[in-house]
């Protein structure tokens, strides 16, 4: 397999090299729905595997991605997950990407500059939830009362989920009263995605 990281510049060291590797990781996730291996990145960018691994560890220290503990396999890179989740974003070309949480899904339309269909499930009753984003705006919500619990827990945000209604969020919250976080509307989750994607784009563009 080739990672085919189009547009990436080769043979650059330092921060430019790190940005190329980060860009390659995100581009491979977007196209293939999976993370590249260090050797695939090395082959694509014409650098040594050691350079790739060193930079992946630095990106992990920066919070940009996460490696499987004790290995060099990429587990996730905001907003994408190499491990299947219930938060799925479908692009116009039909590719389906697993995202880490109910806010990360909203990074994808801005990061990929695509209209997207989001599929997830209510964290309380498991009902299907579908959201359409076109031209950077939410154009469809089913069920219409869907809300997001914005978890204040850290990096891999396992509890930032969709709920089919405020009532189901409330019932879940009653069972987990110590859980830090807050309910937010979908518009706010979309804005968080827009801001997060812009930050990633700036990091990739810095020179």
User: What secondary structure does DSSP assign to the chain, as a single string?
Assistant: -----TTPPPS--HHHHHHHHHHHHHHHHHHHSSPPPHHHHHHHHT--HHHHHHHHHHHHHTTSEEEPTTS--EEEETTEESS--SEEEE-TTS-EEEESSTTGGGGHHHHTT--EEEEEE-TTT--EEEEEEETTEEEEEESTT-EEEEE-S-TT-TT-EEESSHHHHHHHHHH-TT--EEEE-HHHHHHHHHHHHHHHHHHHH--
Least distance to Zn ion from the beta carbon of 164, Å?
Answer: 3
Return phi, psi of residue 65, to 5°. Answer: -155, 175
Nearer to Zn ion, 127 or 204 (CB): 127
- Please choose, out of 18-26, 52-60, 83-91, 168-176, the segment that lies near Zn ion by the rule CB under 5 A: 168-176
Binding residues for Zn ion, total number by CB under 5 A = 6
| Residue entry with tokens 């930032």 | 160
Nearer to Zn ion, 41 or 122 (CB): 122
Q: Which of 24, 89, 105, 122 binds Zn ion (CB under 5 A)?
A: 122
124 binds Zn ion (CB under 5 A): yes
Q: Give how far Cα 31 sits from Cα of 92, 168, 195, Å.
A: 12, 35, 22
Nearer to Zn ion, 72 or 165 (CB): 165
129 binds Zn ion (CB under 5 A): no
162 binds Zn ion (CB under 5 A): no
Q: Which of 16, 125, 137, 171 binds Zn ion (CB under 5 A)?
A: 125
Nearer to Zn ion, 37 or 173 (CB): 173
128 binds Zn ion (CB under 5 A): no
- Please choose, out of 40-48, 71-79, 123-131, 144-152, the segment that lies near Zn ion by the rule CB under 5 A: 123-131
Least distance to Zn ion from the beta carbon of 169, Å?
Answer: 8
- Answer for the pair 150, 106: CB distance below 8 angstroms, yes or no: no
- Please choose, out of 12-20, 26-34, 148-156, 167-175, the segment that lies near Zn ion by the rule CB under 5 A: 167-175
80 binds Zn ion (CB under 5 A): no
Distance CA 38, CA 21 (A): 9
- Please choose, out of 33-41, 90-98, 141-149, 166-174, the segment that lies near Zn ion by the rule CB under 5 A: 166-174
Q: Which residues sit at the interface with Zn ion, rule CB under 5 A?
A: 122, 124-125, 127, 164, 168
């Amino acid at each position: 397999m080739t990672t085919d990281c189009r547009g990436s510049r080769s043979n650059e060291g330092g921060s430019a090299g790190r940005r190329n590797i980060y860009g390659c990781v995100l581009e491979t996730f977007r196209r293939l729905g999976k993370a590249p291996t260090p050797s695939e990145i090395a082959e694509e960018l014409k650098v040594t595997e050691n350079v790739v691994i060193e930079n992946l560890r630095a990106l992990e220290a920066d919070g940009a991605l996460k490696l499987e503990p004790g290995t060099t396999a990429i587990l996730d890179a905001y907003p994408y997950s190499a491990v299947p989740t219930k938060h799925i974003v479908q692009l116009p070309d039909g590719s389906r990407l697993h995202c880490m949480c109910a806010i990360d899904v909203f990074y994808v339309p801005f990061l990929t500059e695509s209209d997207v269909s989001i599929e997830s499930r209510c964290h309380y009753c498991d009902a299907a939830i579908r959201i359409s984003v076109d031209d950077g705006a939410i154009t469809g919500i089913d069920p219409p009362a869907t809300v997001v619990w914005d978890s204040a827990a850290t990096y891999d945000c396992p509890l930032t989920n969709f709920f089919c209604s405020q009532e189901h969020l409330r019932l879940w919250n009653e069972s987990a009263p110590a859980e830090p976080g807050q309910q937010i509307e979908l518009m706010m989750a979309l804005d968080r995605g827009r801001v997060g994607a812009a930050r990633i784009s700036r990091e990739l563009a810095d020179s």
